[in-house]
């Protein structure tokens, strides 16, 4: 796809899959490009027209100067949908993608059908971890934090069992533009979307990873408790659950999006 212009930032977007069917938009984790969804694409494109994109500061998208915010990320999504002449999509976002989904669900409800919020949070009460990561990346680049991030993304058992997938994920992380990564970390350091959750009226599925230390089960349970009618599914995974448990993740998402 040609790049889509969102307020002066060119965003890398792909559209694949079934023409004429419902549309599903996927939104990535911090430090990931749209390639993170490859384990799901074969199944999803048989059922949906699937939009993937690189968030500003990531992948092949532009890296405008910060500050960034969840509102800015949400408005980038709306710019993509407007450019593609798409009124409404189902949403599946993991980690930061889930945070953007919360903003959209509360502020642009007419654009979303069903919402999947995976391995995500709405609030960081203490910014220390983010401030420490910002300092480390400023001093040593993303490589300085890469091993620690990967240890949070994937369980030790998975990393031992799947060294090539683990190496690919690390390469994706390290390839992220440093300034874009830093601007996203700064946005996360002040995250508080608790007031948005009760405003989300779309049918919502929350997915949590039983071994996710970055956005633990308790964070998912809180989100589920605050969104009217939301459901919760827990997978045996760490943070990037769609990679660690690809079949269970895909089954959960497809089952939720296609239920009558």
pLDDT tens, position by position, 90-123: 999 999 999 999 999 999 999 999 999 999 999 9
How far is residue 102's CA from residue 27's CA, in Å, rounded to a whole number?
12
Provide the pLDDT confidence category of residue 4 given band limits of 50, 70 and 90. Answer: confident
Greatest pairwise CA separation for the chain in angstroms: 51
Q: How many CA atoms lie within 13 A of 78 on its CB side?
A: 16
Range 4-258: architecture per CATH: 3-Layer(aba) Sandwich (3.40)
List Cα–Cα distances, 239 to 105, 158, 207, 210, 243, in angstroms.
Answer: 22, 12, 10, 9, 9
Tokens 């970055």 sit on residue:
214
How far is residue 24's CA from residue 17's CA, in Å, rounded to a whole number?
10
**Looking at residues 196-219, what average pLDDT do you find?**
98
In this predicted structure, what is the pLDDT of residue 3?
84
pTM (2 d.p.): 0.98
**Across the chain, what does the average pLDDT equal?**
97
Q: Phi and psi of 9, rounded to 5°?
A: -110, 125
Element at 228 (helix H, strand E): none
In this predicted structure, what is the pLDDT of residue 14?
97
Whether pLDDT at 1 is above 70? no
List Cα–Cα distances, 110 to 72, 87, 197, 209, 230, in angstroms.
Answer: 18, 8, 16, 29, 18
* H-helix segments, 48-142: 70-83, 96-107, 128-140
């Amino acid at each position: 796809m040609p790049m889509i212009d969102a307020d002066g930032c060119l965003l890398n977007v792909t559209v694949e899959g079934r023409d004429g069917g419902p549309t599903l938009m996927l939104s990535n984790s911090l430090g990931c490009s749209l390639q993170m969804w490859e384990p799901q694409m074969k199944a999803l494109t048989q059922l949906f027209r699937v939009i993937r994109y690189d968030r500003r500061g990531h992948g092949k998208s532009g890296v405008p100067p910060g500050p960034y915010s969840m509102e800015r990320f949400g408005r980038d999504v709306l710019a993509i949908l407007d450019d593609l002449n798409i009124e409404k999509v189902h949403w599946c976002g993991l980690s930061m993608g889930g945070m953007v989904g919360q903003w959209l669900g509360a502020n642009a409800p007419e654009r979303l059908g069903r919402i999947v919020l995976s391995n995500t949070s709405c609030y960081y009460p203490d910014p220390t971890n983010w401030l420490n990561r910002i300092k480390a990346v400023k001093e040593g680049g993303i490589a300085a934090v890469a091993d620690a991030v990967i240890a949070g993304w994937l369980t030790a058992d998975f990393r031992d069992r799947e060294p090539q997938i683990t190496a690919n994920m690390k390469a994706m992380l390290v390839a992220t533009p440093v300034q874009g990564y830093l601007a996203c970390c700064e946005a996360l350091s002040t995250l508080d979307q608790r007031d948005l959750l009760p405003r989300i009226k779309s049918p919502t599925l929350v997915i949590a990873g039983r071994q996710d230390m970055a956005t633990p089960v308790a964070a998912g349970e809180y989100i589920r408790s605050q969104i009217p009618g939301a459901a919760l599914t827990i997978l045996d995974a760490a943070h990037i659950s769609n990679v660690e448990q690809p079949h269970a993740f895909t089954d959960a998402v497809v089952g939720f999006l296609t239920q009558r």
